[in-house]
Structure 1
Amino acid sequence: MRAIILPISILCLLVLNVSSDDKNKEQSNAEIWQQDLSDTFKIEGSDQGIQKVNLKCGSNSMNVMLETEKPFSGVMYTRGSFYKQSEPCFVKPSTQTSRTLEMNFQLDQCQTLKDGELYSNIVVIQNDPELITPGDSAFSLECDFRQPRNLDVEANMQTRDRVARGSKITLTSPDPSTAASDLNISYQSDTDSVEYVPKQQNATDNQRGVIHEAETVRLGTVEEVTYTLEKDEL
């Protein structure tokens, strides 16, 4: 009886060892596959096909207007709102020939982040309604309601009365797993509205990472002139 039990025990040990080796190989292959995918499918932000993106900071809202060069059949949403696919955080074109798309949401909606009086969000522009693919876009949006230190503000000032003193749009990656880059293009303004125009940027700059600031010069008390300065000219 012992002679029968001993070979069976040895056989069980061999099976367990083979099974363990197979699992280790599968785990190793999965790790290599995952690493290869992460290196291959890094998606950078692109403004290709976009004519302009406008951000308007309301007293308690963000309004985003997208205009594309060709009819747009994808979706636009704030990061973190894709799976719910509900307005106002997720919008899609009403027609197949539409070249404009608008999104308007309150500052306490759609995963908007608040840092004091600075509000920020990320809007993703996805060409395929289901998947993030190369060529998609994302823009970091900022509405700045911070007051200068030398400006006296009444303590009872209502939220509905406030006006943003700054706004900013930055091109970023639509893929949340991609680290932010220092070379992304930004447009910022000292008003409550700012516009990102790729063709304008490409025509005036030969490098990435330029911050454009819209400055307003007042001539006397009547006339105002707005122009754009590059960061190294400020």
Structure 2
Amino acid sequence: MYTNILFFTATLSLSYSDMNWHQDLTNEINIGVSGSGYSRVILDCDADHMAFIVHLEEEFQGVIYTRGTFHSRNKPCFTDATNGKEFALKFAYKDCGTKYDSDVRAWVNTVVVQHDDELIFPGDLAFSLRCHDQAVVNASMPGILSRISEVDPDPGSNSVGGFEKYAASTSNVVTLTPAKLQPPNSPLLKQEL
């Protein structure tokens, strides 16, 4: 009888582990654009660097990083937050995976705000940052110098949303809030929408 109980327990644990390893949750979990959890996000585009500042609604103890730098965990591209509601990353255009997009004539990067130290979950945030080359006239968005938008934090996502929520500015500094686009009186922003 003792042998039968031992065999039954071993079989049960093997079946359980097989189920965990073979179950694909890709279609069941959708990270998506959160649209909440922050009060404002600021992008400051300078001549040779960009600064990203996020003001969160609740105390935060996760990680904030530029996409592609999670595993290296090196500053200035990565911050392991211990507590607080306001965090900043400041990095040169040549650092942290920043790329120059010649189509829009801008330095581009994505910052991820992840609540868990290891995994991305629904409720996490990501922001696409664009600092337009001030020395070149921007043909795709005339006069725009800085732009920030909410994006899906999941790097494997290929989801395309209907309306992209973003804020753009004719100055070096732009602010995005969940409630409305900033700056609210920008004639350029009204033209784009």
Please, what TM-score do these two structures have when normalized by structure 2? 0.76
Gaps of 5+ in 2: 1-17
Paired residues in the alignment total: 166
> For residue 227 of structure 1, what is the aligned residue in structure 2?
185
Mapped to 2, the partners of 1:180 and 1:191 lie a distance apart of: 30
- Counterpart of 1:190 (choices 170, 186, 190) is 170
Gaps of 5+ in 1: 1-25, 150-163, 202-211, 215-225
Q: 1:233 to 1:138 in 2, by over 3 A?
A: closer
- Counterpart of 2:147 (choices 159, 164, 168) is 168
Measured after TM superposition, the shift of residue 72 of structure 1 is 1.1
Identity, in percent, stands at: 32
Q: Is the CA contact 2:146–2:169 (under 8 Å) kept in the aligned structure 1?
A: yes
> For residue 111 of structure 1, what is the aligned residue in structure 2?
97
Mapped to 2, the partners of 1:134 and 1:92 lie a distance apart of: 19
Mapped to 2, the partners of 1:131 and 1:74 lie a distance apart of: 10
Measured after TM superposition, the shift of residue 48 of structure 1 is 1.8
Q: Is the CA contact 2:127–2:148 (under 8 Å) kept in the aligned structure 1?
A: yes
The higher-RCO structure (CA 8 Å, 6+ apart) is 2
Q: Is the CA contact 1:50–1:68 (under 8 Å) kept in the aligned structure 2?
A: yes
> For residue 39 of structure 1, what is the aligned residue in structure 2?
27
User: Which is higher, the Rg of structure 1 or of structure 2?
Assistant: 1
Measured after TM superposition, the shift of residue 69 of structure 1 is 1.2
- Counterpart of 2:132 (choices 117, 141, 144) is 144
Q: Deviations over 1:14-73 (max 9, x none)?
A: xxxxxxxxxxxx9xx95xx43xx2111121021322011100001010100111111111
Give the root-mean-square deviation of aligned CA atoms: 2.6
User: One-letter code of the match for 1:148?
Assistant: V
Please, what TM-score do these two structures have when normalized by structure 1? 0.64
User: One-letter code of the match for 1:141?
Assistant: L
Q: Is the CA contact 1:132–1:174 (under 8 Å) kept in the aligned structure 2?
A: yes
Q: Is the CA contact 2:174–2:182 (under 8 Å) kept in the aligned structure 1?
A: no
Could you say which structure has the higher helix fraction? 1
